[in-house]
Amino acid sequence: MKMRGAILSVTIAALAAWSCAAPLADAQGETTPAPLKLLQTIPIPGLKDGDFDHFAADLAGHRLFLTAEKNSAVEVFDLNANKLIHTITGLDEPHSMLYRADLKKLFVVDGGAAEVRMYDSGSYKYLGGIKLKDDCDSNTYDPATKYLYVVNGGRGAHEPYTLISVIDTTAAKKIADIKIETDSVEALALETSGPTLFVNMTGLNSVGVFDREKRALLATWSVAQEAQHNGPLAFDEAHHRLFLATTAKPEKFVVLDSETGKVITSIPSVSVADEISYDAKNKCIYVAGDQFVYAFRQQDADHYSLLARVPGSFRAKTAILVPELDRYYLAVPRHGNKEAEVRVYSVSP
């Protein structure tokens, strides 16, 4: 009976997602297929209520890692079988991660422990930590230098400024700090063709443009004229466009020119947005937040429109696009009597 009930539950969820995520009609009344199709849900039993924060993928090992922030754990999933295979415990409040396949090492930014914790990805054995300030959180990675840039300090550490610490992941040590004159910094985005690091300086309602080699601020671009509290950030380097979502009312999806800071457009978006993914192949941007994933179509570098509102769940704001698999994964936290799960979607043009 339990198996039959589980199958029925997945079927109902899939039908609901199909119907509620029906794409929006264009001016001529024509529609396009919904960009995300629910394939499966992966249950995560035994978790208490509380947020997830970030995913990381191990493509060669067919695994997905998910930080259960308020459950002090990292959940590990098999991407072939779409099932939970391991839980890394002993953390405090894990946030973002980096997986280095060449080292077979998982780096976990643990805000509660104020360190980047390292694990052997085969045995999941703890290998030691790199100390930072309290409330270390988001990161971005430079594959050329193998440097990891980690946000730490600020409001959560009761300090008026925030640091972006530069960690040499090969040597497993911190080598520098970039000081940011605000107590709230959210997401980072890194230019691969040059030295630029984009920083969502949330406390200033601005995007900071840094030279990561000189570790110097080059420009500050305000987005306050559009909305407040810019959170998640993504970068379309080919078209020189930054995508961000604001979380103070009115919530918006905002597109900036990454060379000038000019606001290209802004469109109403989902509340409590915490993850934004750019699908370069299908020209879509997915913004995950409370109750919905908003999918925006990129017609060209200057024109964007809302494509669909895909039903999510309560504070289901943690997601990852894995373009190599044409899959989008959404983490749904436990809420009331509904247990936590990961929803697996196929991605379509």
Q: Quick: pLDDT tens for 313-327.
A: 999 999 999 999 999
What pLDDT sits at residue 349? 74
**Confidence category of residue 24, pLDDT binned at 50, 70, 90:** low
Q: Across residues 83-95, what is the average pLDDT?
A: 98
Q: Residue 16: pLDDT above 50?
A: no
Q: Residue 119: pLDDT above 80?
A: yes
Q: Across residues 251-273, what is the average pLDDT?
A: 98
- What are the tokens at 277? 């993914």
Q: Which whole-number Å values give the CA distances from 65 to 43, 99, 184, 330, in the listed order? A: 14, 9, 26, 12
Q: Across residues 90-103, what is the average pLDDT?
A: 98
- What are the tokens at 291? 């109750």
Q: Across residues 51-57, what is the average pLDDT?
A: 98
Q: Residue 26: pLDDT above 80?
A: no
Q: Residue 72: pLDDT above 60?
A: yes
What pLDDT sits at residue 310? 97
pTM: 0.91
What pLDDT sits at residue 214? 97
Q: Residue 103: pLDDT above 80?
A: yes
Q: Across residues 121-139, what is the average pLDDT?
A: 97
Q: What is the percent of the chain where pLDDT is above 90?
A: 89
Give the length of the chain: 349
pLDDT digits (tens, 9 = 90+) for 145-189: 999 999 999 999 999 999 999 999 999 999 999 999 999 999 999
- Give the pairing type, strands 206-211 and 147-153: unpaired
- The DSSP string of 261-283 is --EEEEEE--TT--EEEEETTTT
What pLDDT sits at residue 94? 98
Q: Residue 29: pLDDT above 70?
A: no
Burial of 2 (0-12, 13-18, 19+ CB in 10 A): exposed
> Any idea what DSSP says for residue 20?
H
CB within 8 Å of 56: residues ≥ 6 apart: 64, 65, 96, 97, 98, 99, 106, 320
**In 182-262, where do the E strands start and end?**
188-190, 196-201, 206-211, 216-222, 228-236, 241-248, 252-257
